[in-house]
Amino acid sequence: MVAAQAAGPSRPPANIEDFLWNLHTTLASTPVSPLPLDLLKDTYSKVLGHKCAIERFLVVGDGGLGATLKRIPHVVTLCQDSDGTPSVKATQPTGINRQQLVEADQQYRREIAKKNAAKAAAMGSSKAKAAAPAPAAPPKAAAPVAEVAKRPAEAPAPGGDANKKA
């Protein structure tokens, strides 16, 4: 097992790819598979020798850790064990190397970008179709406005120019 050999004390991850590799390494080197979700952070710390700071790389919202891990299905598979306990296991094969995991991550990101672009295009075209039938209202003519002085000194004197003496 290549992944199990890579496990051991290491530096905390510097970027998302490092974190995903550490997560894969933890899950691949764990004898218990699937690993109960509530044991993931402790197992990560024991295997790698540093705290699992998932919040540094992925947003952990109200849905908790499970909802966060659903956003990386190319690395982690969520399941339920026989007791119905939420559990996780490595999605990628145990023997892959770091570069293969990074390539899988890049491929997944490209797929997501394509889906998002297609969704945006569909939303954009439906908005354009909805906006097209509505006739554009002609611009309203501006109502004549009395000339307003910019500064009080420029304001005409009461009574206009007739009050000026020559």
- The CB-based long-range contact list for 122-126 (8 Å cut-off, 24+ gap) reads none
Q: So what's the pLDDT on residue 31? A: 87
Architecture of domain 2-107: 2-Layer Sandwich (3.30)
On the question of a cis peptide bond just before residue 9, with omega within 30 degrees of 0, the verdict is no
Q: Which of 35, 17, 32, 25 is nearest to 1 (CA)?
A: 25
**Which burial class, exposed, middle or buried, applies to 16 when counting CB atoms under 10 A from its CB (0-12, 13-18, 19+)?**
middle
DSSP state, 42? H
DSSP state, 79? E
Q: Show me where the domains of the chain are located.
A: 2-107
Q: So what's the pLDDT on residue 134? A: 52
Counting as low any pLDDT under 70, the low residues of the chain are 1-9, 126-166
CA distance 14 to 56: 10
Neighbours of 22 (CB within 10 A): 22
Q: So what's the pLDDT on residue 124? A: 81
Q: So what's the pLDDT on residue 145? A: 54
Is residue 163 within 8 A of residue 157, CB to CB? The reply is: yes
And the tokens for 79?
Answer: 């399941």
| 110-150: pLDDT as tens digits | 999 999 999 999 988 765 555 555 555 555 555 555 555 55
Q: So what's the pLDDT on residue 163? A: 53
